[in-house]
Structures are given as structure tokens and as C-alpha cells.
Structure 1
Amino acid sequence: MSLSYSSDCSDLSDGETSYSLEDLQKMGIIENKVAEWIKENPLTEDDALLCLEYCDQNIGNRGNEIQAALTGNGNGGTLVTSTVFKFPTRNDVYFARKRIMETHTWAFYNPFGITVSGHLFNQPGQWVPLPQAQTIGTKVIQFLSDSKFTLENFEFFMF
């Protein structure tokens, strides 16, 4: 089961531990299709997989826009599945986040309830509040060595 829709994103586990591909599958972080893709396309230590879990149905309904943003406009993501994207490096994930923050602000949230300039939402001259609840949960998986992977909670969509 890949990360997709969930009413509670807090069940995503995090840690400094290393995991096998089978562990990631058992934990529900990746589905069989992703595991097979990794076996056919071995990751290097630089590669990073960004896994998404849509926590907000309205944002999830616009998943195709998120996919296009992660894979287009120089953001460097390669589509593995509709919710898993490969990036050449961990830094590329950070750069994509920064660019998407400017173009897809509607997908972001802030737990403190901040407002952002309406020009980001085609509402010039207004201030628009961001949702306070998580919109998309994210994990980053990186290859460690000897078929082991690290798993990190990464708040990609927190503004």
C-alpha cells in the first residue's frame, strides 16, 4: 500500500533506524509496485524517494496537479507511482519544495494558522489563511547500503 488517502497522517513512522525493503512494505510506507520498481531501478546513496499521503480529500482530488508540479518545471522528480517520486538528491527535494511553495501554495498548511498574500491564490490585495491541519503527509526514503534504507518524516507541505 503506498501512501495515499488517510484521515490521520500521524501514523507514519519515523526514525533514525535502517529498514529493509520488506520492512517498508510491512509498515505500509511503500506498496509492492514501488518495491518492484526499486528492485528494477536500484537506488544510489544520493537518490531520494518522496512518498505522499493525502490527508485532505480536497487536496487529494488535485493530486494530478501535485504530480505535474513535482515532475515538471525543473523540479527534478520522476514519477514512480501517483504518490511516490524519485529525486536525484535530497537537496533536489528541498529545491522542489521551495518552488512548489510559490506555485502551489494551496497545497500547503501551517499549524499556526498564518495567512499569505492572496496573489498566491489569484486573490490580489487579500490575505488568505492557510489550513492549520496537515494537507499532505510526506516521508523521504534514501538508500543506505546493503539493501537498507533510511526513513524520515519531512514536512514538505508545511508553509
Structure 2
Amino acid sequence: MFKQHIAQPLGMDYSNNYITVKNPDDNWTVPNVDGFYQFEEDKSKYPAYHFRLSAKDLALYGQLYLNKGKWKGEQIIPEDWIERSTKPYSITNENYGIGYGMLWNVLIPNETRKTKSFFHTGVGIHMLGVYPESNLVLVHRVDTEKEYKFHQGNFYQMIAMVWDSKEK
């Protein structure tokens, strides 16, 4: 479904190569495919489905959300779903004005933020941010298949650099 209804219309590189992993042991490695179903029958009768998207594909998906679900004049995702899924249903950080929607962290409008923005993180180091007021999609991706060094604070530094460059 994702390939047919999202990836192909947007021109993503996503190929839908996937496998099924049943009850992995502690020493298993993440397979090198675009996605995989992971069954852990002792935890749930429903599998998790893990996506692997390139930085380009993440940017295309973010642009789709920025466009309120429209792509080249066609409504790919209903606009009301974009709105409902990025609405904060719970507050996760009151000090920073962050809530949680449906798989999206939401930056809630406040005295310094005129409109909401939203972002999703994966594996703690990948990030897709959508900033409608600034007409901006921001992607951060690390090749997690190789050894890497990344500190969560680097997100804040990167985002600050983007905003600083925009003002100049």
C-alpha cells in the first residue's frame, strides 16, 4: 500500500523489498531491506513494520505533509488526516511546548511560535521536521548500518544553524 499510494506518486526510491523476522534473538542484525515485519510473539500478536527511507524519500514525505497531503494537484493523503495526525493529543514537554499527535511530535503555537510545526524521529537519530510557517522541511539521517557518532544535542545545534542561516 505505501509503495503504490505514497512512494510511487511522489517518485520515491522506496522499492518495497521487505522480509519477515520472527522472534529475533539478542544477536540479530537489522536486515538490509526497505522494510521488515518484526514479530515478537511474546510481546504482541501484531508485528511491527520498520521502514527504511533515504533522506530524499523522507524529504518527499515531509513535503507531502507540508502540502497538506497534495502532490502535483492530486490529494494523496486527506487533508483532514494531516490535521488530525499532527494535532497534539498529549503534552510531552510543557516547558518547550511539545505535544504528541499520531506518531508526530508537535511544536505547539505559543508567544514565540505563530503556528504549529511537527517532527518525527526514528532510531533516536533520524529526524523529519515539517515547519509550515517557514515553508520548510528538514531531514536528518545517519547511516545506521555503519559505525557512527551522534549525540542527541547535535539535533539542537543543527536546527539552530538552519534557523540562523535563514535569518541572514
Indicate whether the TM-score tops 0.5: no
Q: Scaled by the length of structure 2, what TM-score is found?
A: 0.28
Higher relative contact order (CA 8 A, sep 6+): 1
